[in-house]
Amino acid sequence: MAHRRHAGLPAASGGATAEPRSGGTWDSTLSAEEFAAVMGVGFEPVGHVLGTAVFDDAYTGLGGCPGAWSVTDGRKVPSSAWAASYAPLVRTMRAARRLAVARAVAECGALGGDGIVGVKLRVGEFPAGGLEFTVLGTGVRARSRIRPRVPFTSHLTGQDFAKLLHAGWVPTGLAFGIAVEARHDDWRTSRRTSWTAGNEEVDGYTQLLNHVRHNAREQLALEAAKLGGDGVVVDEAELRVEETECPGFGYARDFSAEAVFTGTAIARFGRAERPAAPGPLTIMRLERER
């Protein structure tokens, strides 16, 4: 696991950031309830921050059919049903999100903030082509003399952020788990989807979805660990499936599945004692006394 960046309270990792902006007013994306909750745990807004990046996603790196035949030891055998050549696309998707987050973090640091709460990540088509990745949130600064080395990022609302701190946890950063897999629609799946098949599971499609979700979850856990997190609170779990004509066999189809998990890595910020057990309940009799 990566070196823990938060050894004490949220702003207890040493290092320094910019001084808070002097003069003028700050703006935020917080609701009144969120603002009150953030202030209640010792943080103040320094301004809303924005990070954006536009990437071209035309190149996937996929060549040929994931279910095509290959030659092994002079024999013609079916290759794996899974396509691993989507790696360039996955790297681009991850890099675009990371760049947008990094730019928002840079804005937060320039305002003297210690972290960003209420982060919203939006992905949309750019008019000139490609995809636009936008990160929007509110930079906050702890009422403390100790500053973190790098501002944290979190999708948690102001209220959830406050609850997290009260429970002895601190956000360390946004984590992403992204996976794209493809499966050739071979004769097994075609037979199970024909009108004569009846009601039965199409195990090839089930395997595709389970496989892509599993890989995305593994990537999410790895990224959370790199951020110094003990765990991750998942915000969104997206799944998209597309059908395309097989490049190797014109009469067949390929199915690609994309899974994206987004969450906030969290870590304990102290050796808090075990929370006290709930107090006894007051029980009142409801029947009328005689």
- Domain ranges for the chain, please list them: 32-268
Percent with pLDDT over 70 in the chain: 66
Phi, psi of 161 (to 5 degrees): -60, -45
The reply to whether the predicted model has a pTM over 0.85 is: no
pLDDT digits (tens, 9 = 90+) for 40-49: 999 999 999 9
- Confidence bin at 78 (pLDDT 50/70/90): very low
pLDDT of residue 252: 67
10 with 114: CB under 8 angstroms?
yes
Which bin fits 23, alpha (ψ -120 to 50), beta or left (φ > 0)? Answer: left
pLDDT of residue 15: 38
CATH 2.40.50.140 fits 32-268, yes or no: no
Averaged pLDDT, 261-266? 95
Over 70: is that where the pLDDT of 228 sits?
yes
- Distance, in Å, from the CA atom of 178 to the CA atom of 110, rounded to the nearest integer, reads 30
Which residue is listed with tokens 């996929």?
62
Two tokens at 95?
């890099």
Over 70: is that where the pLDDT of 241 sits?
yes
- Distance, in Å, from the CA atom of 225 to the CA atom of 247, rounded to the nearest integer, reads 38
